[in-house]
Structure 1
């Protein structure tokens, strides 16, 4: 909070410019040089930072424009970038989103099934398979790699480029605070493991590799946002539904891996993003926030972003009614506009939501945000209109809270 007002931010992915979409496709096809590609990214980053500043977003990013997307421009792109930054991977033609493999877990032995075998999808099979239902949105099928050797980090030049471009654009536009998203070890571990055959060993190797990316971001004075949908979304990817105890044990391995990767990084430069997946599905099999929130708060971070406006999770503001749940130095960054609906939230509704959270944890501990990334989930016009509504709602709430 600065100058007695509620700050605003978002979760990361923003609508890509047409030039960047075309450049990604050309890069995937081998029809553009690295210098030409980087020039398009630079121009696009300058544009997206300028637009965020004009709208009034306080804590901005580069739209995740530097995250190479295998030619895809949709929600599947959020983790594809890591395929180009981790060594030890071997590309396949298999798409984990389309793969129909059915993996079954046993008590005490959780295994993730394929994305298309999720329990929510099984309950609403017809809706998921109807191309006109709008459930999955526009998604490009791409091959996914597998872990075939020791995990290393090979993305130093890419993350340094992203950091440099964001910092330059911030300086040019007079922006003080910026963040950059990076995949969590547990989310990266959802690729098939053909090398370690040991869950903890893979998570530790990923933590050690990704810590290089994390430190590059925070050493530049930027906030690191850890994208960790595995902490909530994975519950739906387990057949049959596990016991809560088994899932919490599985979850703890991922929390521990995150903290291993954050050794030496100040918590005030870290925020954790928790979500139940970005696809526009029913989400009837999502795990309740109450079941995982305390474990998530174990992460050595100062900020925690989470869905708070989607029709499936808007009621879960109640988790913050428990006294002492939020520790000193920790802030909540609730989503006040949803990526799962085309309706643009009214600023007064956003303000009401902000005030509700502020009354529970204190206005100094609330930053207004979005449920999830908006790029690829919504039409460009709608996505930017939601961010405009967010800043307008924060202004109303600030006046109500501080006068």
Structure 2
């Protein structure tokens, strides 16, 4: 992966806004076969997207997760629901177990509950239920996730091959030096109902075997692999009562070990890991602190770590890097513009945020990024303005840091 050897480089966390044409095509795909010419449409859209990233000043570009079907301008889940179309052994069950499940975890009586039982959601129930509040995400029971009803197998070979081909072609056509593709982690993938495997550990490791195929394909193609894994931090909000930090670290260890198993023998310097507390626009008052999760994150065998640092719930946590030593040769990709607000950050603020991290870990080890994916979270016009101000702030910081 490129490092900021002579200036602060820029990237983003993955998802970017889809065009109306791509949204319409994805909607048609949900009702049956892909519309005629879809493959060419997708390839062209990815090239146009990469070109626009380059023009906005983004150095390490992605495909915007365009190969992960999203059929609505607002979508918080395409980053992981894509895996349902690429995995055998899954089936839609006509109940709400995925949303309300109470799964025995470890240690003690710690339990991971379903998406409807978040502690943040319970504290702000009226706001979450109010369609005018800005955090209403619809009725989760309306779009049930599948359950695992048989042995998991990877069936996404054609889909990942298309993702790779589209981004590779876009890099060649635009002259972009480096590109990344995102893929789901075993820990996040396993947050559906298991009706087949005998234990939670067996289920998580089955996902690790499945997703490793996608990881290897991306790296073998010469691209950077980004692991999307909000579960590492976000699961904390789904455990009731609130666990101790020690118990949560023990609960999370299985997810980390399974991910490292899936990444075994793959080059760390081609892997970046994305941690976040969930991209929905809620209060997030029950998020685990970065100081309590950073050591767990650093156990993951990746060469770079992407995390939220621009939203108002976590911005103050840049101070963590005054006390935590980043392992030799690794990078951080802090979010310095946020998906959680429509306010476009000023370039001077972006520069200030970058400089704080540079003071903690060294300027060469900071690549400026976004908190989370911008696609499906904020209006496209605002998303692109945020990418432009990200690049402007990086230029200001570079002038200050290199003189």
Identify the TM-score tier after normalising by the shorter chain.
over 0.9
Moved more, 66-75 or 142-151: 66-75
What is the distance in 1 between the residues matched to 2:55 and 2:138?
29
In 1, are the aligned partners of 2:209 and 2:262 still within 8 Å (CA)? yes
Q: 2:92 aligns to what?
A: 91
Partners of 2:74 and 2:377 within 8 A in 1: no
Q: CA deviation at 1:142?
A: 2.0
Report the Cα offset of residue 78 of structure 1.
Answer: 1.5
- Could you tell me how far apart the structure 2 residues matched to 1:129 and 1:118 are? 13
**Larger displacement relative to structure 2 (70-79 or 294-303):** 70-79
Out of 22, 25, 36, the position equivalent to 1:23 is 25
Match of 1:314 in 2: 315
Tell me: CA distance 1:327–1:103, structure 2 relative to 1, closer, same or farther (3 Å): closer
**Distance in 1, Cα, partners of 2:156 & 2:110:** 31
Is 1:267 equivalent to 2:268 in the alignment? yes
1:118-157 alignment to 2 at 5 Å?
118-137=118-137, 141-157=142-158
User: SS state of the match for residue 328, structure 1?
Assistant: coil
Give the CA deviation at 1:68. Answer: 2.6
- Residues 160-199 of structure 1 deviation map (CA, whole Å, 9 limit, x = unaligned): 1100100001100001100011100000000000011311
Matched residue count: 400
Give the match for residue 231 of structure 1.
232
Deviation at 1:239, TM superposition (A): 1.2
Structure 1 residue aligned with 2:6:
4
Contact 2:274 2:307 in 1 (8 A): yes
Q: Does the Cα contact within 8 Å between 2:89 and 2:151 map onto a contact in 1? A: yes
Match of 2:288 in 1: 287
SS at match of 2:113: coil
1:333·1:366 contact (CA, 8 Å) conserved in 2? yes
Once residues 149 and 290 of structure 1 are traced to their aligned partners in structure 2, the CA distance between those partners, rounded to angstroms, is 39
Query: Using a 3 Å threshold, how does the CA distance of structure 1 residues 157 and 315 change in structure 2: closer, same or farther?
Result: same
Kept in 2, the 8 Å contact 1:186–1:254? The answer is yes
Structure 1 CA distance, aligned partners of 2:201 and 2:372?
Answer: 28
Name the counterpart of 2:15: 13
Determine if the alignment matches structure 1 residue 42 to structure 2 residue 43. yes
- C-alpha deviation, 1:95, in angstroms: 6.3
- Flag the 1:103–1:88 CA change in 2: closer, same or farther, 3 A: closer
- Structure 1 position 150, deviation (Å): 1.0
1:280 alignment partner, SS class:
coil
2:30 and 2:225 mapped to 1: Cα distance?
Answer: 27
> Aligned pair 1:392/2:389, yes or no?
no
The aligned residue for residue 337 of structure 2 is: 337
Which residue of structure 2 aligns with residue 374 of structure 1? Answer: 374
Q: 1:101 to 1:302 in 2, by over 3 A?
A: closer
Aligned residue for 2:278, secondary structure, equals: coil
> Does the CA contact (< 8 Å) of 2:4 and 2:366 recur in 1?
no
Secondary structure of the structure 2 residue equivalent to 1:134:
coil
Which runs of no fewer than 5 residues in structure 2 stay unpaired? none
Q: Deviations over 1:264-323 (max 9, x none)?
A: 210000011000000000000000111111111011101000000111100111111115
Structure 1 residues 155-174: aligned runs within 5 Å: 155-174=156-175
* Contact 1:101–1:117 (Cα < 8 Å) also in 2: no
Residue 346 (structure 2) aligns with: 346
- Which residue does the alignment assign to 1:190? 191
Give the structure 2 partner of residue 216 of structure 1. 217
Instruction: Name the stretch that deviates more: 187-196 or 88-97.
Output: 88-97
- Is the 8 Å Cα contact of residues 70 and 142 (structure 1) preserved in structure 2? no
Q: Distance in 2 between matches of 1:100 and 1:2?
A: 45
Q: Do the aligned partners of residues 2 and 199 (structure 1) sit closer, same or farther apart at CA in structure 2, a change above 3 Å counting? A: same
- Distance apart, 1:354 and its partner CA: 0.5
Q: 1:269 to 1:256 in 2, by over 3 A?
A: same
Residues in 1 aligned to 2:310 and 2:12: alpha-carbon distance in whole angstroms:
13
- The answer as to whether partners of 1:93 and 1:144 remain within 8 angstroms in 2 is no
Q: Is the 8 A contact 1:6 1:397 kept in 2?
A: yes
- The answer to whether the Cα contact below 8 Å between 1:326 and 1:361 also exists between their aligned partners in 2 is yes
Q: Distance in 2 between matches of 1:17 and 1:139?
A: 25
Within 2, Cα distance between the matches of 1:283 and 1:172?
41
Distance 1:39 1:56, change over 3 A: same
Shift of 1:96: 7.3
Cα-to-partner distance string for 1:69-110 (whole Å, 9 max, x where unaligned): 47785112221100011111112355678x456678786243
